[in-house]
């Protein structure tokens, strides 16, 4: 995964800050462990490579070493391509829009029966027309549609139908914002590090960690607000 290299760089930067605020030196062994895992995986892939047409032991070892090197460089090349093409976790999908990302509920009474699948397909189509990332829930998920404006947050939509006979239905939608643990955990850790370093009078470190926490939190909030605006518009149209 190319983003794994970004994690290694982030851990390395935190290790450097550890020279100013020593508790951050705990990131150094994690950085070494992450780097060792990447190099170890590449070495293992190189060792498993087979070259039956090569008879020279020296040439075979050289090809295995080259294979290991390519396993190291390939994620870097993919990461470079993603950064140059704006395919980063911070890339915004779709246009703007803003709606405060709190849980919202829509209810509508109808005397014209329609299946839940039909209603969800219409909602999905409206979401996709706005250029958002749309994911359909599975049979065992507690949600039906997930809409994203980026990779940092999402809004999940759940449909509930109450059947009242003779084609009459009570249709309810609920949209709930969600921040994935992969974003929430770094945000909590950065915030905690900001507070602890500030209490320890490491103002420079607190400023750096606090700035990172605010940028990450603001990006996740704005993405969620944009996704909620799209979900609101789609569900207003469906229940209006």
CA 12, 15, 21: angle at the middle one, nearest 5? 155
pLDDT for 87 beyond 60: no
What pLDDT was estimated at residue 86? 46
What pLDDT was estimated at residue 195? 94
- Does residue 195 come out as left (phi exceeding 0), alpha (psi in the -120 to 50 range) or beta? alpha
CA 29, 34, 36: angle at the middle one, nearest 5? 90
Helix pair 27-48, 57-84: axis angle to 10 deg: 130
The Cα–Cα gap between 153 and 61 comes to: 46
| Model confidence, pTM | 0.77
Rounded to an integer, what is the distance from CA 23 to the centroid of its chain? 28
Beta strands in the chain (DSSP E): 104-110, 133-136, 145-148, 154-163, 169-178
pLDDT for 90 beyond 60: no
Q: What is the mean pLDDT of the chain?
A: 87
With tokens 């803003």, the residue in question is 98
Residues 6+ apart with CB under 8 A from 171: 107, 108, 109, 110, 119, 159, 160, 161, 162, 239
Per-residue pLDDT tens digits for 174-208: 999 999 988 898 899 899 999 999 998 888 899 99
The sheet carrying 133-136 orders its strands as 104-110, 169-178, 154-163, 145-148, 133-136
Tell me the mean pLDDT in the region 142-163.
93
Per-residue pLDDT tens digits for 9-44: 888 888 888 888 888 888 888 889 988 988 888 889
Beta strands 145-148 and 169-178, pairing class: unpaired
The Cα–Cα gap between 27 and 126 comes to: 44
Tell me the mean pLDDT in the region 65-70.
88
Per-residue pLDDT tens digits for 115-131: 999 999 999 999 999 88
pLDDT for 85 beyond 70: no
């Amino acid at each position: 995964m190319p983003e794994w290299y970004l994690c290694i760089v982030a851990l390395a930067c935190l290790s450097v800050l550890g020279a100013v605020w020593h508790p951050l030196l705990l990131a150094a062994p994690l950085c070494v462990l992450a780097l060792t895992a990447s190099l170890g995986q590449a070495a293992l892939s190189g060792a498993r490579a087979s070259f039956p047409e090569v008879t020279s032991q020296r040439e075979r070892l050289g090809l295995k070493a080259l294979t290991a090197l390519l396993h190291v460089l390939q994620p870097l090349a993919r990461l470079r391509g993603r950064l140059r093409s704006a395919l980063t976790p911070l890339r915004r999908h779709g246009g703007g829009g803003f709606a405060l990302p709190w849980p919202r509920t829509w209810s509508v009474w109808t005397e014209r029966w329609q299946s839940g699948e039909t209603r969800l397909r219409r909602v999905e189509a409206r979401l996709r027309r706005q250029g958002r990332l749309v994911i359909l829930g599975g049979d065992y998920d507690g949600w039906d549609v997930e809409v994203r404006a980026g990779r940092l947050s999402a809004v999940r939509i759940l449909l509930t139908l109450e059947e009242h006979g003779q084609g009459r239905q009570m249709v309810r939608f609920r949209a709930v914002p969600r921040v994935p643990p992969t974003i929430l955990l770094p945000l909590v850790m950065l915030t905690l590090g900001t507070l602890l370093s500030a209490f320890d009078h490491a103002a420079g470190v607190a400023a750096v960690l606090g700035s990172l926490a605010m940028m990450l939190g603001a990006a996740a909030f704005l993405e969620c607000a944009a996704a909620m605006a799209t979900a609101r518009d789609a569900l207003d149209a469906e229940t209006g």
